[in-house]
């Protein structure tokens, strides 16, 4: 049995856009619902959809707005009641600078999209996953090694060098949101996994995107790895993994 329906939240550019392309190639009969915050600006996604023979449906969705998630679900219900994979790729990186100097607004922004948005998606779209008969269905949350507490000291030092800061990790507020996302994923997995829907937290690598100009891999390598990690995942395995398939310490 193959994947029939996939939802990629945050697909207008970067990793999300390339994940849509991966599913189009790897699952030739799959239908992909791809969301964008502002559909009118999702020009690359529109091009991909127009060349997909109707397999890609673009859906408007503001990740950090519950009502927008519900409206997107209503739109998807017009054509299917089941999703085999739901991939939450929406994310922001705000609040750049010394944690004690930059104020709370960046942290709020990171939490609203990176954590609250993932929660809204889980609440709204888990019924679609539960309705799926695909044997390897899953809810996927795009995380980061930046959220690992086990790696925090090592990464603090690395980020000082990488970003040219001293005595501070300038992406601390982003890191905090990803740690919170990891815990959310664990709690959701505790609820959904016994019902046949494992929750996978995937680190996509340090990808060169508009949000991360210092990345060391491109979106094609990242998306290809993310796709393989999702496709190969077994519920018996640790559910915080890298795009390379390796387990990441919490």
pLDDT band of 237, cuts 50, 70, 90: confident
Residue partners of 87: CB distance under 8 A and separation at least 6: 6, 7, 8, 9, 16, 19, 140, 142, 230
pLDDT band of 48, cuts 50, 70, 90: very high
Helix (H, G, I), strand (E, B) or coil at 199: strand
How confident is the model over 136-161, as pLDDT tens digits?
A: 999 999 999 999 999 999 999 988 88
pLDDT band of 212, cuts 50, 70, 90: low
pLDDT of residue 17: 97
Q: What is the pTM of this model?
A: 0.96
**Nearest to 16, CA basis, from 207, 239, 246:** 207
How confident is the model over 13-40, as pLDDT tens digits?
A: 999 999 999 999 999 999 999 999 999 9
CA distance 22 to 180: 28
Give me the domains of the chain, ranges plus CATH numbers.
5-242 (3.40.50.720)
How confident is the model over 67-89, as pLDDT tens digits?
A: 999 999 999 999 999 999 999 99
């Amino acid at each position: 049995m193959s994947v029939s329906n996939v939802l990629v939240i945050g697909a207008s550019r970067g990793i999300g856009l390339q994940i849509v392309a991966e599913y189009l190639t790897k699952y030739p009969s799959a239908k992909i619902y791809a969301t964008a915050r502002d559909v009118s600006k999702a020009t690359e996604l529109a091009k991909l959809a127009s060349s997909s023979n109707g397999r890609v449906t673009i859906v408007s969705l503001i990740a950090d707005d519950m009502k927008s998630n519900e409206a997107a679900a209503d739109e998807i219900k017009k054509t299917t009641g089941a999703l085999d994979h739901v991939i939450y790729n929406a994310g922001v990186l705000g609040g750049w600078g010394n944690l004690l100097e930059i104020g709370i607004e960046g942290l709020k922004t990171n939490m609203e999209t990176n954590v609250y948005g993932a929660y809204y998606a889980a609440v709204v779209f888990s019924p679609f996953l539960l309705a799926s008969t695909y044997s390897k269905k899953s809810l996927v949350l795009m995380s980061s090694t930046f959220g690992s507490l086990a790696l925090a000291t090592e990464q603090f030092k690395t980020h000082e060098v990488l970003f040219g800061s001293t005595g501070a990790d300038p992406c601390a507020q982003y890191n905090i949101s990803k740690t919170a996302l990891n815990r959310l994923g664990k709690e959701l997995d505790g609820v959904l996994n016994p019902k046949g829907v494992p929750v996978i937290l995937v680190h996509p690598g340090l990808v060169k995107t508009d949000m991360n100009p210092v990345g060391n891999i491109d979106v094609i390598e990242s998306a290809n790895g993310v796709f393989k990690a999702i496709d190969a995942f077994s519920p018996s395995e640790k559910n915080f993994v890298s795009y390379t398939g390796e387990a990441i310490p919490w």
